[in-house]
């Protein structure tokens, strides 16, 4: 499921966001290139790989029963960095821009019914339009033609977690200076100052990611490594169970939040990059 929000002009053409320097929020939700599609499924389990390609809009995915209006449960089995060691049962999933999760929905008890994947995130100043709460509909049939690979194992894959650390090695503060996004006061245009850390090859470090000012939301992506999310304070002030069930390479940092992550830096030497929503990149050596 590739999810993105878009805007159509009066002539039916897509509105180009190239001149947007802050945020871009569409009013038409698309899944796999289609606005508000439906998908005919059989009453069995389906594995869906979700990816948000929204430019600025974080999502809160829920699975609504069209008859009762209740939110149904589903399993999350993998994140950006691969499989969890065990499925995580939930009835909602926060999805940042660029973030990925694999989910398993069991449609067995919904034969001949409809379920709708919704977006129920209502944070701060994110524009909400008439239909941005709807993503797609699942039309469940009455029979199963193929039961192949339809068991969900209780154990999935072992995870090689980075060693725990008692101290924070670096603090990175995200701010907007009126013109550009900065990390620790440095923007990408400052080539002489944009190398902000030098983790030794093969080391484990703990970083603190602070959203201090500016509009919108930050999906912080640390290139070429995978990290464990340790804590979130301020804002939501909590970690969802699926955020800590596996390694990650993207984490959503909302206004006022401080997220702590631990990562193994290796096995390669070179420049690592940290990116946020509005094309801010800081090189790490």
Quick: pLDDT tens for 141-197: 999 999 998 999 999 999 999 999 999 999 999 988 877 788 888 887 777 777 888
- Most distant CA pair in the chain, distance: 63
Question: What is the value of pTM for the model shown?
Answer: 0.92
Q: Report the alpha-carbon distance of residue 132 to residue 117 in Å, rounded.
A: 11
DSSP 51-91: EE--SS--EEEEEEETTT-PEEPEEEEEETTEEEEEEEEES
Q: For a pLDDT cut of 70, what percent of the chain falls above it? A: 96
Q: Evaluate if residue 280 carries a pLDDT over 50.
A: no
Q: What is the CA radius of gyration of the chain?
A: 20
Virtual CA dihedral for 94, 96, 98, 104, nearest 10 degrees?
0
DSSP 282: E
Give CATH 2.60.40.420 domain extents, the chain: 2-140, 170-284
Residue 20, both tokens? 């947007």
69: CB partners within 8 A, 6+ apart: none
Architecture of the domain whose range is 2-140: Sandwich (2.60)
Closest C-alpha among 112, 116, 71 to residue 89: 71
**What CATH code would you report for 170-284?**
2.60.40.420
The predicted-structure confidence for 192-214, as pLDDT tens digits, reads as follows 777 888 888 889 999 999 999 88
């Amino acid at each position: 499921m590739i999810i993105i929000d878009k805007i159509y002009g009066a002539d039916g053409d897509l509105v180009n966001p190239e001149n947007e320097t802050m945020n871009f929020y569409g009013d038409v939700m698309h899944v796999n290139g289609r606005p508000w599609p439906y998908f005919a499924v059989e009453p069995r389990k389906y594995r869906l790989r979700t990816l948000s390609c929204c430019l600025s809009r974080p999502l809160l995915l829920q699975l609504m029963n069209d008859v009762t209006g209740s939110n149904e449960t589903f399993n999350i089995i993998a994140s950006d960095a691969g499989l969890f060691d065990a499925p995580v049962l939930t009835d909602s999933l926060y999805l940042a821009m660029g973030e990925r999760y694999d989910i398993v929905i069991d449609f067995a008890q919904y034969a001949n019914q409809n379920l709708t994947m919704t977006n129920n995130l209502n944070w701060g100043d994110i524009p909400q339009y008439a239909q941005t709460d709807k993503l797609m509909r699942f039309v469940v049939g009455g029979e199963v033609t193929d039961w192949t690979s339809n068991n969900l194992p209780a154990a999935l894959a072992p995870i090689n977690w980075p060693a725990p650390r008692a101290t924070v090695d670096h603090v990175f503060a995200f701010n907007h200076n009126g013109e550009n996004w900065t990390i620790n006061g440095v923007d990408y245009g400052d080539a002489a100052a944009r190398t902000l850390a030098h983790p030794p090859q093969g080391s484990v470090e703990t970083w603190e990611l602070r959203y201090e000012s500016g509009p919108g939301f930050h999906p912080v992506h640390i290139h070429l490594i995978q990290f464990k999310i340790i804590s979130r304070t301020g804002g939501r002030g909590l970690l969802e169970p699926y955020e800590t069930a596996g390694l990650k390479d993207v984490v959503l940092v909302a206004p006022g939040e401080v997220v702590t992550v631990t990562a193994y830096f290796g096995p390669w030497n070179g420049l690592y990059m940290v990116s946020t929503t509005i094309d801010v990149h800081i090189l790490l050596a």
